[in-house]
Amino acid sequence: MKEDGLTGADERDYLLAVYAQTPIEPVRGEGVMLHTRDGRVLLDLYAGHAVALLGYGHPRLLAALREQAESLFFQSNVVPLGVRARAGRRLVRFAPAGLDRAFLVNSGAEANENALRLALRHTGRRQVVAVEGAFHGRTAAAAAVSDKSAAWYSFPQAPFDVRFVPRADLDALAAALDSAPTAALILEPVQGMAGAVALGRDYLEGARALTRTRGALLIFDEVQCGMGRTGYPFAAQAYGVTPDIMTTAKGLAGGFPAGAVLVGEAIAARLRPGDLGSTFGGGPLACALIEAVITAIEEQDLLPRVRALSRRIRETCQVGPVAAIQGEGLLLGLRTTRPAQEVQAELLARGIVVGTSADPRIVRLLPPLVIEETHVESLAGALREIRA
């Protein structure tokens, strides 16, 4: 495309200054490498908040996008589409058994907004329980169940009653569920924004049992930890715990906006035309990419590789300023002895892009699932050079 003289730095003249940005301007991506305007080549271990699930320029994704764009660029849910049926089938077969129906949307927040709507409607109750440290998005309902959102919530009231519970405390969860008729417990099996905090199998199994006995629905927000990131299709399969509702987004279409809400037959059977809706949700380009992403994960046998590389990171990257490593699969938090932002800047100076989190001592890794052992070696080597 022809340059018109503007660079990323000119964003600030036209766009709201609401993001703290990393000081690089990628102009091209290839595999897991980003090429910047000033000629640097960076190893991307953050993937644009986990979205570039298969890295950059993946041939299957490019072919799917091109083919779909040339044949039918857009039609809404007002008409049925074969490509939507194919994406839906791939997705529900990738998801845990029992979550057999999908509603397609455009983002994580939109997925959670609809998941909460469904839970409140299905149960006729008005309280939702959420977990401390959670982040579920910035729309009215999703933000109401995001921890410490008061600082930026900006709506005069939440759309339902919300109660937060501490992590890892099933007694507190039971008490919260009993405090008022509860429509749902919403949680991230591995909390992303909190710094890759895995809630753990025991907690998830306990939460499953407690919600079931109280008639509350269990919602897994797998916007960040889903789509292969834990080394399993979804964290639900990694832990062997199936929720009543599951949401996903981010890497779902490998970089094209897409989100999904998955439910079982009991919830699906009570829905009628008009109950939910989204103009762009389930558009043909997003659907072609959802199909291509899941096909690529399976064809390239990426899930065992995610698990192996995760182990490798744990074995080799607890060096330099890294005191401990937490999380699952390729959603990892490096606990640092120094402020995470300093470590992030030093890694960037050595050509590696990583993220931070709500925890000032956690560097977050969300690399494309296609990273290789050599990339882990580069990370370990760079960390070794950084002062503890």
Interacting residue with ligand PLP among 107, 230, 242, 310 (CB under 6 A): 107
Q: State the residue number with the nearest CB to ligand PLP.
A: 108
Residues 359, 340 contacting (CB under 8 angstroms): yes
Q: Does 108 bind ligand PLP (CB under 6 A)?
A: yes
**Residues 200-229 contacting ligand PLP, CB under 6 A:** 221, 223-224
SS3 (DSSP) at 147: coil
Concatenated DSSP letters for 277-300? --SSTT-HHHHHHHHHHHHHHHHT
d(C-alpha 174, C-alpha 196), whole Å: 24
Angle 259-304-234 from CA coordinates, rounded to 5°: 30
x-marked contacts with ligand PLP along 327-366 as a string, rule CB under 6 A: ----------------------------------------
DSSP, res 124: -
Interacting residue with ligand PLP among 137, 206, 228, 283 (CB under 6 A): 137
Q: Does 135 bind ligand PLP (CB under 6 A)?
A: yes
How far apart are CB 197 and ligand PLP at their closest, in Å? Answer: 11
How far apart are CB 113 and ligand PLP at their closest, in Å? Answer: 9
Q: Residue 83: in which H helix or E strand, if any?
A: helix 82-94
Residues 252, 52 contacting (CB under 8 angstroms): no
Q: Does 145 bind ligand PLP (CB under 6 A)?
A: no
CB-based burial label for 162 (10 Å; 0-12, 13-18, 19+): middle
Stretches 78-86, 103-111, 166-174, 201-209: which one binds ligand PLP (CB under 6 A)? 103-111
x-marked contacts with ligand PLP along 20-59 as a string, rule CB under 6 A: -----------------------------x----------
Stretches 17-25, 129-137, 170-178, 368-376: which one binds ligand PLP (CB under 6 A)? 129-137
Q: Does 189 bind ligand PLP (CB under 6 A)?
A: no
Q: Please give the backbone phi and psi of residue 371, each rounded to the nearest 5 degrees, phi first.
A: -60, 160
Interacting residue with ligand PLP among 44, 188, 328, 359 (CB under 6 A): 188
How far apart are CB 111 and ligand PLP at their closest, in Å? Answer: 7
Number of residues lying near ligand PLP (CB under 6 A): 15
How far apart are CB 382 and ligand PLP at their closest, in Å? Answer: 25
d(C-alpha 319, C-alpha 315), whole Å: 10
- From first CA to last CA, the distance across the chain in angstroms is 44
How far apart are CB 114 and ligand PLP at their closest, in Å? Answer: 12
Token representation of residue 237: 């399969």
Nearer to ligand PLP, 35 or 117 (CB): 117
Task: Provide CB contacts within 8 A for 219, sequence distance 6+.
Answer: 112, 115, 116, 119, 184, 185, 186, 187, 243, 244, 245, 246, 247
Q: Is the sign of the CA dihedral 142, 145, 147, 152 positive or negative?
A: positive
Q: Is the sign of the CA dihedral 341, 345, 350, 355 positive or negative?
A: positive
**Residues 266-325 contacting ligand PLP, CB under 6 A:** none
**Residues 238-257 contacting ligand PLP, CB under 6 A:** 249
Token representation of residue 161: 């009653």
How far apart are CB 230 and ligand PLP at their closest, in Å? Answer: 13
Nearer to ligand PLP, 247 or 378 (CB): 247
Site residues, ligand PLP (CB under 6 A):
49, 107-109, 112, 135-137, 188, 192-193, 221, 223-224, 249
